[in-house]
Structure 1
């Protein structure tokens, strides 16, 4: 990782001056944000950090007053102009031209029905009045600024055709279209791997330095912003509880909330595997080749997404599978779960206490029955839970397939019991997924898998959609369930903090190949492969090369 760029404030007069800011929403007894105050100067980066619900995003949105139902009290001055109580015409002028915003989830923030070129062009046409060839040239120039050099392809692409890092760069390009003086980046790296996180943060920092722009960086990851922020403000329960130069906050945190954020990345929850523990899963030569059709008159091409990989998993053990986006992590999970036809290799399930089966040879009813022994918890609980089903229906669904002899009363009692195991009560049974927080939804997803008493759980990025504090709660739950039931986990993640917390052994994937394997302790302290060292340095577990 290259050395982080640091730039001090360039002017004494702040671009942004927030004082005594209160934000209240109808129907809520207490304010979402109380007495918040901070300044941001040109060329300066201020990181606003805190757990979910601390008020970070509400504060950021309050600057441009993006929540029309909210009641704002206090002062927000942009370049000396008061925005609280300003007219809609003034706010429309400020949004984009004065204050740009990069939202958290690019796939949700971008319109899936419009090509990227059109979406960026709309911003330029609206605020700058550019049309025709000049508009196309301006869009290509913006894409170049955010290092999307394949501009012709990106212009005609739709959001789903781009990677997570590319979509994030598109959002940054849209926010920069009108050359704002303040850029607010709300969790711009949450769903990205460590390499891409560093790239995006370096890009934002460099653009802020080049343009003399104030950068307000919203994040729950206090460690990740360490090398990029000039100052840090920590929020808890709607208030700023600690602030100061980044080096001071990291070296001597004074508030418990700050210390808790720092402690999240140092957690170690994995319990030792019992000596002589039987095997739960043995994988040999699992690989995956996709056939790509480049055109009607061209021959199909075979693309190797995953080279032959081997691993074994003992009862009560967690194997971490790490690598950057596109390294083959999820492909490996899909192949082991037999959820892709292109996967091949030997998969032996339950080679210990329970009867061993060649999972790769099963088909039809036999394969369906064996699936109860190996379940999966997916990355985004909001997408993986049906919005049309109650929690009771979601959790009981597996029993309808695998235990059809159970009557309604027994199924309901099983659902109540498993929800209690994940820390949820009977009051959630008739509610729908949208009424829960991200952490609660992930607990429901775990309960849905756990109700079938599986031997192996494949955890595909189980905390990437959660902030660090809530993610740690989910990891503690998984560690306790493993201790209680002897579960074995295949942990797919790009977050090395998650591996450090939960895994016993780790394999590192690069471009579909296993480049390193070993215990968590040996890989984290003495990595052998250059790629592993790069990942650890990007996540700030090793000094930058």
Structure 2
């Protein structure tokens, strides 16, 4: 019998070879990562998947030695060079030219004081020596490759971009120095399904064409299946299953893998009571920003959101979907009275508190009314104070809106709501930086839920969570809705979240409502071409 034909990954020395990797942090009894071993060949894509807190991001950061307080044991060889114990100079060179990294939370990874053009240009100037007009051209070329071709982005600051736009800026920065290995830690977290496909096609194409290794960390198993060559599943700091992507997904052998795969078709939304009163009425809400293109140029009015109307009944969930930058978050912030430029009629209605013209309130009256409509923001790391413990963060709303409670009552309320989102009492005295992205999102949800609002605006509530933990959070939200009649405005790019929790859907494109209807109608018989495009990208409809 002739010998099997060897693949390039089998014959060539791997670009990245990790063996027996342990990562320990001071003050923690258990290692964050134990006995992790895998290889990655040039031009290959390896997906590292697992539940929130399973060790995926810790493993990725260990490759470039990004945690100075961590203790690393084992071997990490990049292009034949051992990185464990390498000198600071070697690691600086590696981080600039050898390994690029796309971090999970773009707002915290980008400098708020520098423009986008300056931040991307800094890497090009330091490592490739590009300056002047050539630098501007190179930055624009990178932005175009990640679908941000508008020259105005060069002068924009991180807070002026949407979550998806910030994520694409991070990808452009990581690609600036043409790395041999790209580590993408949730690179499509803030993107809608259509742009996720575009970005992953871009990364996959570059990896294949340039011989770049791609380590993809993600909880989006649908996308992983479509783009990864191999998959490694992590659970409690260890790799528990590995193999070709098609084999792992078609015949998973470990319970952790099966749990990650069993959540896509969930339908959790409780029925809305017949004749349910209105919880929120929105009429003509719109938002125009004043853009200053330059010192000697006249300011321009940019329409971020055309007038939009919707009604939300008690116990109902309205899903708002659309591509990154379509106006989803702008709509949410305008309804919440958090966008200064937003305007329109906003009525909180019914219930034991009575009807309230939310748009006409100001000062103390507006602050008091905010307990009736709370929000879970998209980026938990930037929305949680790094100077406060988890207990203080969750308790803060009670101090403002429920001053009559005793310290013991407030503490018990905090413990109860943390338990509802799957966190134990030992988190009370810890700070946000000590948690994974998914755990921080659960803290943010607990902070909003503790005031028992009538309306809860959920801006990407599961974007930082793996599928299994995300399903737990959605089940919690559905149960709270069933028990208390809560109403949700659900802003998301994840159509599986809409399918699970929403009753009705609004589709936004370029700041305008292009389609609306029930979840069943939208998923089975969408009318607008853009809606069909979104569903096809998320693999709910055949590609056109």
* TM bracket (short chain): 0.7 to 0.9
Deviation at 1:437, TM superposition (A): 5.0
Q: 1:10·1:212 contact (CA, 8 Å) conserved in 2?
A: no
Q: Which residue of 2 aligns with 1:4?
A: none
Deviates more, 1:189-198 or 1:401-410: 401-410
Matched-pair contact (CA < 8 Å) for 1:282–1:351? no
Is the 1:350–1:455 Cα contact (8 Å) retained in structure 2? no
Shift in Å, 1:428: 5.5
CA distance in 1, matches of 2:341, 2:183: 42
Report Cα offsets for 1:349-401 as digits up to 9, x if no partner.
22366532333344555544433322223223333334444555544544554
Structure 2 counterpart SS, 1:227: helix
Question: 1-side partners of 2:327 and 2:167: how far apart?
Answer: 21
Partner of 2:190: 191
Q: Secondary structure at the match of 2:246?
A: helix
When residues 89 and 485 of structure 1 are mapped into structure 2, their CA distance, relative to the original with a 3 A threshold, is same
The 1-side partners of 2:68 and 2:403 are apart by: 50
Deviations 1:95-146 (A, max 9, x none): 4333333333333333334444554454445445566676666556555555
How far does residue 444 in structure 1 lie from its aligned partner after superposition?
A: 4.4
* 1:239 equivalent in alignment to 2:233: no
Go from structure 1 to structure 2 and tell me whether the alpha carbon gap of 1:301 and 1:158 turns closer, same or farther (over 3 Å shift). Answer: closer
Pairwise CA distance, 1:277: 2.3
Residues 100 and 516 of structure 1, relative CA distance in 2, 3 Å threshold: same
Match of 1:380?
Answer: 379
CA distance change for structure 1 residues 78 and 479 in 2, over 3 Å: closer, same or farther? Answer: same
Distance verdict in 2 for CA 1:338–1:164, change over 3 Å: closer
Residue 312 in 1 paired to residue 311 in 2?
yes
Question: Mapping of 1:287-306 within 5 angstroms?
Answer: 287-292=286-291, 301-306=300-305
1:498 maps onto 2:497 in alignment: yes
Q: Distance in 2 between matches of 1:106 and 1:363?
A: 32
Residues 9 and 537 of structure 1, relative CA distance in 2, 3 Å threshold: farther
Report Cα offsets for 1:389-434 as digits up to 9, x if no partner.
Answer: 4555544544554455556666556556555555566666565545
Q: What residue number does 2:108 align with?
A: 108
Indicate the residue corresponding to 1:533 in structure 2: 532
Equivalences for residues 117-516 of structure 1 within 5 A: 117-128=117-128, 142-143=142-143, 146=146, 148-150=148-150, 157-292=156-291, 301-351=300-350, 355-391=354-390, 393-404=392-403, 415=414, 418=417, 422=421, 432-434=431-433, 438-516=437-515
Whole-angstrom distance in 2 between the partners of 1:29 and 1:410 = 32
In the other structure, the counterpart of 1:47 is 47
Q: 2:78 and 2:268 mapped to 1: Cα distance? A: 46
**2:38 equivalent in structure 1:** 38
Does structure 1 retain, via aligned residues, the 8 Å contact 2:318–2:504? yes
Greater Cα shift, 314-323 or 472-481 = 472-481
Q: 2:66 is paired with a residue of what secondary structure? A: coil
Contact 2:108–2:382 at 8 Å: present in 1 too? no
Report how far residue 531 of structure 1 moved.
0.9
In structure 2, the CA distance between the partners of 1:193 and 1:403, relative to structure 1 (3 Å rule), is: same
- Please list the CA deviations of residues 24-47 of structure 1 after superposition, one character each: whole Å capped at 9, or x if unmatched: 444443333333332222222111
Structure 1 Cα separation of the partners of residues 299 and 91 of structure 2: 53
Instruction: Give the Cα–Cα distance (whole angstroms) in 2 for the partners of residues 161 and 193 of structure 1.
Output: 18
Question: 1:238: how far off?
Answer: 2.2
Change (3 A) 1:399 1:176: closer
CA contact (8 A) 2:278 2:311 kept: yes
Number of residues paired by the alignment? Answer: 538
- CA–CA distance in 2 between the matches of 1:90 and 1:387? 31
Q: CA deviation at 1:90?
A: 4.4
Q: 1:204 Cα shift?
A: 0.9
Q: Closer, same or farther in 2 for the Cα pair 1:419/1:244, shift >3 Å?
A: closer
Q: Distance in 2 between matches of 1:267 and 1:73?
A: 41
1:313 CA drift (Å): 1.7
- 1:487 deviation in Å? 0.9
Please give the alpha-carbon distance, in whole angstroms, between the structure 2 residues aligned to 1:321 and 1:304: 18
Change (3 A) 1:320 1:8: farther
Higher alpha-carbon deviation: 485-494 or 397-406: 397-406
Relative to structure 1, is the Cα distance of residues 414 and 341 closer, same or farther in structure 2, using a 3 angstrom cutoff? same
- Structure 1 gaps of 5+ residues are 1-6
In 2, Cα distance between the equivalents of 1:61 and 1:440?
Answer: 18
Distance (whole Å) between structure 2 residues aligned to residue 343 and residue 153 of structure 1: 22
Alpha carbons of structure 1 residues 121 and 534: separation in structure 2 relative to 1, 3 Å: same
Compared CA separation, residues 19 and 440, structure 1 to 2 (3 A): closer
CA distance in 1, matches of 2:363, 2:92: 59
**3-state SS of paired residue (1:225):** helix
Structure 2: runs of 5+ lacking an equivalent: 1-6
Which residue in 2 is equivalent to 1:21?
21
Conserved 8 A contact 2:219-2:465 = no
Q: Which shows bigger deviation, 304-313 or 412-421?
A: 412-421
Q: CA deviation at 1:320?
A: 0.9
Is 1:60 equivalent to 2:64 in the alignment?
no
Are 1:79 and 2:86 an aligned pair?
Answer: no
- 1:131 to 1:543, Cα distance in 2 relative to 1, 3 A: same
Q: 1:470 to 1:92 in 2, by over 3 A?
A: same
